[in-house]
C-alpha cells in the first residue's frame, strides 16, 4: 500500500501550522479514536484496519515533492499559506508518538477507544484523518462480513465485490476486512496475493455465451479446469442449465473427476436451489455443491435459510464491499488530555447539544470482564486511577444504566495494548488467518442475544465511576463557563 503524509485534510495542516507558529507543536496530548453507534443497527463491531495504521505511521514523512506542493498553496490574499521555515520543519518531521490499540478482530462496542495516540500534538493531529479512514472503513466491512457469516450458519461465503467496490483501494481493503470478518476467500486476485487470502471464483455468463451450445461450454470448461469447476447454470434457462451441468458432471466422473458444483445467480434462489439439489441427488451427484449469488446480504440469506434453501456456499459482492445499507462507520478522533507542564496533564472534553457527542476525557483503557469465559461487560476507565475492589460502571449515554462489578471475583483483560513506542513498532504482526480466528473466537464468547441481526440486546459498556464523575465535573465546569 502506498502511503503519503498528504493523506490528511487541509485543516490538519493549518492547525499544525498554528501550533508551530505559536511554539505549541511539541506540547504532548492524548487522542482517542472511537465510534458512537454500532453499524447496521447491530449489537457489536469488529475492530479492523490496524495493520494499515502501523504501516502508515511507520513510513510517516513528507517527501520533497509533497513539500514542494505545499509550498504552492496560497491563502485568500494570494500569499503562501505556509512559511518556508514551517516547510523546512515538516521536512525533518517523523512520527515519535506512543500508540495503544485494540487488536484487529476484537469485538468492540460504542464509546470504547480503538486507538490511543499520545505524543506531540502536531503529530497527533496530522495523522488523524488517515487513521480514521483506515479504521472506519475496514471495521465497517469486517462487521458486515461477520453478520453475513452468522446468517449463513457456518456455510462459507466468498467475497465477490471487486467490480462494485469504491475504487481500487476500496476493493483491496474490503477484501482484507471481509476475510477478517469471516469470509472464506475473495475473487479479487490482487487482494488474495497481497494479503494471503484464498482466491475463489467460478466463470461468467460470457463463457457460456461464447459457445453455440451451453452443453459444449460446460464440457469445455470442465475439461480445461477439472479440479476447479463450478458451472453457472442460469445463462438461458436454469432448469435446463442444471441438466446440462449434470451431464457434464457424469462425464467427468466417468473420467475420474468430481466437479465442484453449480452456481445460481438469478431467479428464485430458494426454489431453484431445491430443484437443483433434488436433481443432483437423483443423478448420483450429492457431492456437488450449490453456490448462490445475486445481491445477497445477511437479511436475504436469513430468509433463504428459513425457506430451507439447500445452498452450500454464498457469493456476496455489492452489499458486502460497499456496506450497502450503511456506507460509513462514523468513527471519530478526539483530544482527551493535554500536558500543561512537564508530566502535568489536564483533561479535555468537547461539549455538544447532542449528549452522544460529548466525549470522554483522560487516558482511557477498556477492561473486558468474563463470566464462565463468556463476555460479561466492558468498563472504560482512566489508567491513572486506582480501581476499587468493587466498582460501578455507568452507561455514558444513559446514566440510569449501571452495573456493579466485584473485581476480585471476575476475570478480566485490558483491550488496548502498546503497539508503537516513541514512533517504533513494538507489537507483533499477525496473519489475516490469526485475525479471522480472533473474530470467530470473540463472536463465540458473545451471547447470542447480542449477535442477533434484528433488535439485538445492548451489551453493557460503562464508564468506571471515577471517570464518570470526572466527566460530569468537566461538563458542569464548561457549561458554567460558557453558558452562564
Domain 144-321: which CATH number of 3.50.50.60, 3.30.450.20, 3.30.70.20, 3.20.20.70: 3.20.20.70
Residue 482 has a pLDDT of 86
CB of 290 closer than 8 Å to CB of 311: yes
Q: Which CATH architecture has domain 10-60+95-141+328-483?
A: Alpha-Beta Barrel (3.20)
Distance between CA atoms of residues 398 and 431, nearest Å: 38
Give span(s): CATH 3.20.20.70, the chain: 144-321
Distance between CA atoms of residues 220 and 224, nearest Å: 6
Residue 262 has a pLDDT of 98
DSSP strand pairing (261-264 vs 313-316) = unpaired
The number of angstroms, rounded, from the C-alpha of 397 to the middle of its chain's C-alpha atoms is 23
Residue 1 has a pLDDT of 53
- Using alpha carbons, select from 378, 393, 355, 361 the residue that is nearest to residue 470: 361
Q: Which residue has the cell 496475493?
A: 193
Helix (H, G, I), strand (E, B) or coil at 280: helix
450-455: Cβ within 8 A, 24+ apart: 450/43, 450/44, 451/43, 451/44, 451/150, 452/43, 453/42, 453/147, 453/150, 453/151, 453/298, 453/299, 453/302, 454/41
Residue 355 has a pLDDT of 77
Q: What is the DSSP string of 358-374?
A: ----SSEEEEEEEETTE
Give span(s): CATH 3.20.140.10, the chain: 10-60+95-141+328-483
Distance between CA atoms of residues 198 and 433, nearest Å: 10
Q: Which residues contact 178 (CB under 8 A, 6 or more apart)?
A: 141, 142, 144, 145, 159, 161, 186, 320, 321
Distance between CA atoms of residues 186 and 162, nearest Å: 9
Cell (9 digits) for 212: 453455440
Q: What is the pLDDT along the chain (484 residues), one digit of tens a residue?
A: 567 999 999 999 999 999 999 999 999 999 999 999 999 999 999 999 999 999 999 999 999 999 999 999 999 999 999 999 999 999 999 999 999 999 999 999 999 999 999 999 999 999 999 999 999 999 999 999 999 999 999 999 999 999 999 999 999 999 999 999 999 999 999 999 999 999 999 999 999 999 999 999 999 999 999 999 999 999 999 999 999 999 999 999 999 999 999 999 999 999 999 999 999 999 999 999 999 999 999 999 999 999 999 999 999 999 999 999 999 999 999 999 999 999 999 999 998 877 778 999 999 999 999 999 899 999 999 999 999 999 999 998 888 999 999 988 889 999 999 999 999 999 999 999 999 999 999 999 999 999 999 999 999 999 999 999 999 999 999 988 887 6
Distance between CA atoms of residues 93 and 87, nearest Å: 10
- Using alpha carbons, select from 198, 200, 240 the residue that is nearest to residue 218: 240
Amino acid at each position: 500500500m502506498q502511503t503519503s503524509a498528504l493523506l490528511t485534510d487541509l485543516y490538519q495542516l493549518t492547525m499544525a501550522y498554528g501550533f508551530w507558529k505559536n511554539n505549541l507543536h511539541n506540547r504532548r496530548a492524548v487522542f482517542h479514536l472511537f465510534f458512537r453507534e454500532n453499524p447496521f443497527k447491530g449489537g457489536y463491531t469488529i475492530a479492523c484496519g490496524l495493520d494499515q495504521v502501523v504501516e502508515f505511521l511507520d513510513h510517516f514523512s513528507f517527501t520533497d515533492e509533497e513539500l514542494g506542493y505545499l509550498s504552492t498553496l496560497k491563502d485568500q490574499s494570494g500569499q503562501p499559506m505556509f512559511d518556508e521555515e514551517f516547510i523546512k520543519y515538516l521536512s525533518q518531521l517523523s512520527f515519535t508518538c506512543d500508540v495503544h490499540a485494540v487488536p484487529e478482530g476484537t469485538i468492540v462496542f460504542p464509546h470504547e477507544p480503538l486507538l490511543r495516540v499520545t505524543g506531540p500534538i502536531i503529530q497527533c493531529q496530522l495523522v488523524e484523518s488517515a487513521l480514521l479512514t483506515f479504521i472506519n472503513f475496514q471495521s465497517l466491512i469486517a462487521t458486515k462480513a461477520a453478520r453475513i457469516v452468522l446468517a449463513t450458519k457456518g456455510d462459507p461465503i466468498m467475497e465477490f465485490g471487486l467490480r462494485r467496490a469504491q475504487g481500487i483501494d476500496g476493493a483491496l481493503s474490503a477484501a482484507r476486512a471481509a476475510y477478517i470478518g469471516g469470509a472464506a476467500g475473495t475473487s479479487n486476485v490482487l487482494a488474495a496475493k497481497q494479503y494471503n487470502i484464498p482466491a475463489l471464483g467460478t466463470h461468467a455468463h460470457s463463457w457460456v455465451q461464447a459457445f453455440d451450445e451451453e452443453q459444449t461450454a460446460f464440457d469445455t470448461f470442465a475439461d480445461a479446469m477439472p479440479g476447479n469447476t463450478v458451472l453457472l447454470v442460469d445463462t438461458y434457462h436454469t432448469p435446463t442449465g442444471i441438466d446440462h451441468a449434470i451431464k457434464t458432471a457424469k462425464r467427468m466422473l466417468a473420467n475420474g473427476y468430481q466437479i465442484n458444483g453449480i452456481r445460481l445467480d438469478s431467479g428464485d434462489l430458494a426454489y431453484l436451489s431445491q430443484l437443483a439439489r433434488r436433481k443432483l441427488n437423483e443423478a448420483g451427484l450429492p457431492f456437488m455443491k450449490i453456490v448462490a449469488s445475486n445481491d445477497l446480504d445477511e437479511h436475504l440469506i436469513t430468509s433463504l435459510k428459513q425457506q430451507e434453501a439447500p445452498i452450500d456456499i454464498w457469493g456476496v459482492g455489492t452489499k458486502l464491499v460497499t456496506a450497502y445499507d450503511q456506507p460509513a462507520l462514523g468513527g471519530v478522533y478526539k483530544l482527551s488530555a493535554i500536558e500543561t507542564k512537564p508530566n502535568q496533564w489536564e483533561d479535555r472534553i468537547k461539549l455538544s447539544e447532542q449528549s452522544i457527542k460529548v466525549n470522554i476525557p483522560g487516558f482511557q483503557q477498556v477492561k473486558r470482564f468474563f463470566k464462565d469465559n463468556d463476555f460479561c461487560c466492558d468498563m472504560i476507565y482512566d489508567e491513572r486511577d486506582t480501581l476499587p475492589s468493587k466498582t460501578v460502571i455507568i452507561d455514558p449515554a444513559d446514566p440510569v444504566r449501571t452495573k456493579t462489578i466485584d473485581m476480585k471475583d471476575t476475570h478480566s483483560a485490558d483491550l488496548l495494548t502498546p503497539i508503537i513506542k516513541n514512533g517504533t513498532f513494538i507489537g507483533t504482526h499477525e496473519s489475516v488467518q490469526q485475525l479471522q480466528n480472533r473474530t470467530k473466537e470473540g463472536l463465540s464468547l458473545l451471547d447470542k442475544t447480542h449477535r442477533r441481526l434484528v433488535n439485538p440486546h445492548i451489551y453493557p459498556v460503562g464508564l468506571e465511576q471515577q471517570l464518570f464523575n470526572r466527566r460530569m465535573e468537566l461538563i458542569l465546569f464548561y457549561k458554567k463557563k460558557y453558558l452562564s
